[in-house]
Chains A and B, each alone.
Chain A
Amino acid sequence: EPEVTQTPSHQVTQMGQEVILRCVPISNHLYFYWYRQILGQKVEFLVSFYNNEISEKSEIFDDQFSVERPDGSNFTLKIRSTKLEDSAMYFCASSPFLGTGEQFFGPGTRLTVL
């Protein structure tokens, strides 16, 4: 069964450093998403991406964040200068449709900013 994969599973970085979180969505999906989950809290939407551009972004997704689909398979989230409060689980999701239908989530990357 196809699945969304994410690497690395755990990233530790120093405050102010840049990190790139990687995702490989399911191959025939067209819509891509990043969410984050601070420990013990709900999952929060960050950004959606379709047709090589951002469709929607949340207030969390400020100028420090960027997304890219550098080739036909990868989907990346870059945080330019990490802050302590960026520590969270980051989930990538993809879906074949915009409307009804599930989004398929990856296993997540745990980002720890020291």
Chain B
Amino acid sequence: GESVGLHLPTLSVQEGDNSIINCAYSNSASDYFIWYKQESGKGPQFIIDIRSNMDKRQGQRVTVLLNKTVKHLSLQIAATQPGDSAVYFCAEKSQGGKLIFGQGTELSVKP
């Protein structure tokens, strides 16, 4: 079946530390994944994406890692800042274009 899930519902880190948010997916045929950030009262905001022909992709302070063997995604945020506090969702894009979201991890950054 189709499902994308997250391992931890909450993550608390100190400002300046690195954060790692994990995600598992079940559809081995999936070929495109996105991480979204959702701040309170707002819509999901794109962070970074990765195609299945890649293992790693880096953006500004963020890195996404894809392990197709174990169907696992992770989002790494370097030097986490208070503005990074939000709920983070991984999502899998289906052939038809719809996004299948995971449950979400709430990241809390302590000053």
* Cβ distance B8 to chain A, nearest Cβ, rounded Å: 14
Pairwise interchain contact A45-B98, C-beta atoms closer than 8 A: yes
Is A105 close to B, CB under 8 A? yes
Count of chain A residues near B, Cβ 8 A: 27
* Cβ distance A22 to chain B, nearest Cβ, rounded Å: 15
Is A82 close to B, CB under 8 A? no
Pairwise interchain contact B97-A105, C-beta atoms closer than 8 A: no
Option from A4, A98, A102, A108 in Cβ contact (under 8 Å) with B49:
A102
Is A52 close to B, CB under 8 A? no
Is B111 close to A, CB under 8 A? no
Is B75 close to A, CB under 8 A? no
Is A75 close to B, CB under 8 A? no
Chain B residues within an 8 Å CB radius of A98: 96-97
Is B71 close to A, CB under 8 A? no
| Residues of chain B from 73 to 99 with CB closer than 8 A to chain A in the complex | 89, 91, 93, 96-99
Is A35 close to B, CB under 8 A? yes
Listed by A's residue number, 25 A-B pairs whose Cβ atoms lie within 8 Å are A4-B43, A33-B97, A33-B98, A33-B99, A35-B99, A41-B103, A42-B89, A42-B104, A43-B89, A43-B91, A43-B99, A44-B101, A45-B99, A45-B100, A56-B98, A58-B98, A91-B44, A93-B43, A95-B97, A98-B97, A101-B49, A103-B46, A105-B36, A105-B44, A107-B42
